[in-house]
Chain A
Amino acid sequence: MSVHSTSPQFKANAGHALADAQLQRAMGNVKKGFIDKRRAAADRLPEFEEMRDSARDIKDHTLAHLDLYLERYEEKVTEAGGHVHYARDADEARRLILDICKAQGAKTVTKGKSMISEEIGINAYLEAAGMEPVETDLGEYIIQLRNEMPSHIIAPAVHLNASQVESDFRRVHKHLDKDRDLSQPVQLLTEARAVLRERFLAADVGITGANFLVAETGSSIIVTNEGNGDLTQTLPKTHIVLASIEKIIPTLDDVAQLLRVLARSATGQDLSVYTTFSTGPRRAGDLDGPENYHVVILDNGRSSMLGTSFEEMLRCIRCGACMNHCPVYHAVGGHAYGWVYPGPMGAVLTPSLIGVDKGGHLPNASTFCGRCESVCPVRIPLPKLMRHWREREFERHLSPATVRAGLSFWGYFAKRPALYRFTTRLAMGTLGWLGRIKGERKGRFSRLPFAGGWTQFRDFPAPQGATFQQRWRQEQRAKKQARDGREAA
């Protein structure tokens, strides 16, 4: 366990989110932007679908040989003059990072955007030790000012509107002119740039995440658009890379394959603005770059996912496409998920990392519409994995008594096909008849026993009278007749 989770309260969180007008307005931007941009970028590259297969295969190969690639990666980092540290869990990672910062006498610690750093809650830990962590990605900076968690893995402040950012800047940037104009997003950006430029130059340690770690060369790679990650890792005396075990990729050529699907899936760019490969500390004769280079490799439950059905989740390259396309995420935003990772990937990863007892609601928050899987650049079968969690939740008796009773009731009939056919025919026939005779609301029910959760918000359409199985048999028969007719003719 790492940072505090409100995932067990998902239902309440979702309820609040749906009633939050400010949030609902901001979430409109997600639906508008990301989907069209990804589509356009995918269409510009005829090989895009094949490239997704290639990306999936590279990740599968790497995971199957992860121990060996990790060893090789460590060797190469050491050769280049860097240090690799291993952390079994969040607490160990935090202590390693604090020790490095302390050894540098660090006061200001700048940070590039890193979801792993959210996972281990490093900011609060450094603050408690008297240091000042400064988030430098614009979105991360904004939510740090608000003392919030990111609501999206690549667009952390996507749940906010410009007016909210303006009032935060006025509240925090007290040294600036009170009457300055901040009505345009570009003015907010310019102000953040100026404020953060000072922090970059003052920082003693820079912490970044890594999109990939390359075994061939011992390089850490970050992909950004703002350039904040680069300033974070280049200006301070010490650079700490914080990454989880599954970021390892064999070669630079493999990285090229993954880069071709990453930005296209994430923001609809062909390539992000800055893709930076860092290898060890500054070299003899260099005028810039860090003097010390550390990599903290975090497990935090991931090694136990290998060899299970959840191994496929470790292919994830954190592009955010699954949440960008998720109707549930669109409706409730990222905070409702209650921990670090939201959306479909969070619904699968969260129970793996904090336990299905705490994260079990998340895989239930899906209609299994399949959009997430259809856009995943590494083809993770997210709906299937959510279903696996539902099964585990049921097996471990974690689902509520009413759900369990309902499923047992249904199971009793499902295991007795003749009885099932009879009762469903009876039930659908009755409902269909009731639906037809009801005068003013013909064809719809505004109230139904056991279906209050549905009818409280919308009418339930009356069945047409036949069951699915009846209908299926009918259509098969019709098809067969048509076929026989053709053959006879």
Chain B
Amino acid sequence: MGAREDILGNIRRSLGVRGDERTRRSVVQERLARAPKGLIPQRGQVSGEARIALFKEQAESVQASVARVSDRAQVPEAIATYLRDHNLPAELRMGSDPRLTGMPWGETSLSLRHGVSDGSDTNAVSHAYGGVAETGTLVMVSGADNPSTLNLLPDNHIVVVDAAEIEGDYETMWERLRATYGKGVMPRTVNYITGPSRSGDIEQTLLLGAHGPRRVHIIVVGDPGSA
């Protein structure tokens, strides 16, 4: 007998079941289909500007920085300012997300590079799929628009997120993902990112910038109500 059948058989023997019981199967089907929400903390149950404020507060508590602009056209200037303020080179890598490429980059002196990183980029910008206010978390999905490696390889990661796409809790984010990609279907990679990379492996001392970005700068665009 193969390993698969052996393992499933042993699980069933231990549980005292056969595996074809109607009720067990329907319990499992039902749970997968309905995906019941569990206990959702009150913390994220705020809307409008209060939700953006919570997102900002939580993100800053894990050493991300957060800026706010009123529309997309202001993003290039905000990034240029951020890089200048931190004495970082005026260069930026990005994927092919039209929300990013369509921005007025010509108004800045930033030199742009597109596509995946070879690991030597100092700065990159990505557009988030959304955010979760509960923990100040960015939700990134893979694809040519925003290659996953841009979330990880550059020293400084700048992330643009629409205020209207910041949800209160993880459960609402799953609802949105299911609506976008279909129930039971996921993009290749979904990254939940909560602050810059860190390690406490040496004497339990918290240090930023272990293998991923040393800095995460979030630019929240627009109003929570519009988008």
A278 and B189 contact, Cβ closer than 8 Å, known pairs A92-B3, A189-B202, A231-B211: yes
Is there an interface contact between B3 and A64, defined as CB atoms closer than 8 Å?
A: no
Inter-chain CA distance A218–B144, complex, in Å, is: 22
Instruction: Select which of B16, B24, B36, B186 is within 8 A of A68 by beta carbon.
Output: B24
Is there an interface contact between A272 and B194, defined as CB atoms closer than 8 Å?
A: yes
Please tell me if B82 contacts chain A, counting CB pairs below 8 Å: no
Interface centre among B32, B95, B201 (most CB of A within 10 A): B201
Is there an interface contact between B186 and A72, defined as CB atoms closer than 8 Å?
A: no
Inter-chain CA distance A367–B26, complex, in Å, is: 44
Interface centre among B25, B134, B199, B202 (most CB of A within 10 A): B202
Inter-chain CA distance A475–B15, complex, in Å, is: 47
Is there an interface contact between B212 and A280, defined as CB atoms closer than 8 Å?
A: no
Please tell me if A132 contacts chain B, counting CB pairs below 8 Å: no
A307 and B16 contact, Cβ closer than 8 Å, known pairs A71-B8, A162-B202: yes
A165 and B41 contact, Cβ closer than 8 Å, known pairs A76-B184, A251-B31, A303-B10: no
Which residues of the other chain, A, contact B126 by a CB distance below 8 angstroms? none
Inter-chain CA distance A165–B201, complex, in Å, is: 11
CB proximity of B114 to chain A, nearest CB, Å: 10
Inter-chain CA distance A217–B190, complex, in Å, is: 12
Is there an interface contact between A225 and B187, defined as CB atoms closer than 8 Å?
A: no
Which residues of the other chain, B, contact A124 by a CB distance below 8 angstroms? none
Contact segment of B73-81, B101-109, B135-143, B219-227: B135-143
Which residues of the other chain, B, contact A87 by a CB distance below 8 angstroms? 3
Inter-chain CA distance A102–B135, complex, in Å, is: 42
Inter-chain CA distance A297–B2, complex, in Å, is: 13
Which residues of the other chain, B, contact A254 by a CB distance below 8 angstroms? 35, 38
Interface centre among A142, A162, A185 (most CB of B within 10 A): A185
Inter-chain CA distance A438–B193, complex, in Å, is: 67
**Residue on A nearest B61 in the bound complex, by CB:** A270
Please tell me if A319 contacts chain B, counting CB pairs below 8 Å: no
Please tell me if A70 contacts chain B, counting CB pairs below 8 Å: yes
Is there an interface contact between A253 and B35, defined as CB atoms closer than 8 Å?
A: yes
Which residues of the other chain, B, contact A230 by a CB distance below 8 angstroms? 148, 151-152, 191, 212
Is there an interface contact between B3 and A304, defined as CB atoms closer than 8 Å?
A: no
Instruction: Select which of B19, B38, B95, B142 is within 8 A of A256 by beta carbon.
Output: B38
Instruction: Select which of A70, A139, A278, A281 is within 8 A of B201 by beta carbon.
Output: A139
Please tell me if A288 contacts chain B, counting CB pairs below 8 Å: yes
Please tell me if B37 contacts chain A, counting CB pairs below 8 Å: yes
A234 and B31 contact, Cβ closer than 8 Å, known pairs A67-B19, A68-B24: no
Is there an interface contact between A138 and B201, defined as CB atoms closer than 8 Å?
A: yes
Please tell me if A424 contacts chain B, counting CB pairs below 8 Å: no
Which residues of the other chain, A, contact B86 by a CB distance below 8 angstroms? none
Please tell me if A46 contacts chain B, counting CB pairs below 8 Å: yes
Please tell me if B12 contacts chain A, counting CB pairs below 8 Å: yes
CB proximity of B122 to chain A, nearest CB, Å: 13
Inter-chain CA distance A44–B223, complex, in Å, is: 28
Which residues of the other chain, A, contact B177 by a CB distance below 8 angstroms? 252
Is there an interface contact between A271 and B202, defined as CB atoms closer than 8 Å?
A: no
Please tell me if A69 contacts chain B, counting CB pairs below 8 Å: yes
Please tell me if A213 contacts chain B, counting CB pairs below 8 Å: no
Which residues of the other chain, B, contact A306 by a CB distance below 8 angstroms? 11, 14-15
Beta-carbon contacts under 8 Å, B138-183 to A: 142-144, 147-149, 151-153, 169-171, 174, 177
Contact segment of A150-158, A171-179, A334-342, A439-447: A150-158
Is there an interface contact between A278 and B42, defined as CB atoms closer than 8 Å?
A: no
Is there an interface contact between A197 and B32, defined as CB atoms closer than 8 Å?
A: no
Which residues of the other chain, B, contact A391 by a CB distance below 8 angstroms? none
Instruction: Select which of A196, A219, A250 is within 8 A of B32 by beta carbon.
Output: A250
Is there an interface contact between A289 and B28, defined as CB atoms closer than 8 Å?
A: no
Instruction: Select which of B19, B135, B211 is within 8 A of A227 by beta carbon.
Output: B211
Interface string of A56-97 (1 = CB under 8 A from B): 001001001111111110001000100001111000100000
Q: Number of A residues contacting the other chain (C-beta, 8 Å)?
A: 105
Please tell me if B130 contacts chain A, counting CB pairs below 8 Å: no
**Residue on A nearest B195 in the bound complex, by CB:** A273
Please tell me if B67 contacts chain A, counting CB pairs below 8 Å: no
Please tell me if A5 contacts chain B, counting CB pairs below 8 Å: no
Instruction: Select which of B28, B152, B203 is within 8 A of A26 by beta carbon.
Output: B203
Please tell me if B46 contacts chain A, counting CB pairs below 8 Å: no
Is there an interface contact between B11 and A66, defined as CB atoms closer than 8 Å?
A: yes
Please tell me if A315 contacts chain B, counting CB pairs below 8 Å: no
Which residues of the other chain, A, contact B186 by a CB distance below 8 angstroms? 80, 217-219, 277, 279
Please tell me if B43 contacts chain A, counting CB pairs below 8 Å: yes
Please tell me if A188 contacts chain B, counting CB pairs below 8 Å: yes
A234 and B149 contact, Cβ closer than 8 Å, known pairs A185-B202, A216-B184, A278-B189: yes
Which residues of the other chain, A, contact B135 by a CB distance below 8 angstroms? 270-271
Instruction: Select which of A215, A226, A278, A283 is within 8 A of B197 by beta carbon.
Output: A226
Is there an interface contact between B143 and A274, defined as CB atoms closer than 8 Å?
A: no
Shortest Cβ-Cβ A-B pairs, 7 listed: A227-B212, A226-B210, A139-B201, A306-B14, A275-B192, A256-B170, A303-B10
Chain A to chain B contacts (Cβ below 8 Å), 26 pairs = A33-B200, A33-B204, A45-B41, A47-B41, A64-B15, A67-B15, A71-B8, A86-B3, A157-B201, A185-B207, A196-B211, A197-B211, A217-B184, A234-B189, A250-B31, A250-B32, A251-B36, A256-B174, A275-B191, A276-B190, A276-B192, A279-B189, A283-B142, A287-B147, A288-B149, A304-B10
11 new A-B contacts at CB < 8 Å, known A201-B118, A250-B35, A275-B194: A69-B28, A76-B184, A80-B186, A158-B204, A160-B202, A189-B202, A227-B210, A271-B137, A275-B137, A283-B188, A304-B10
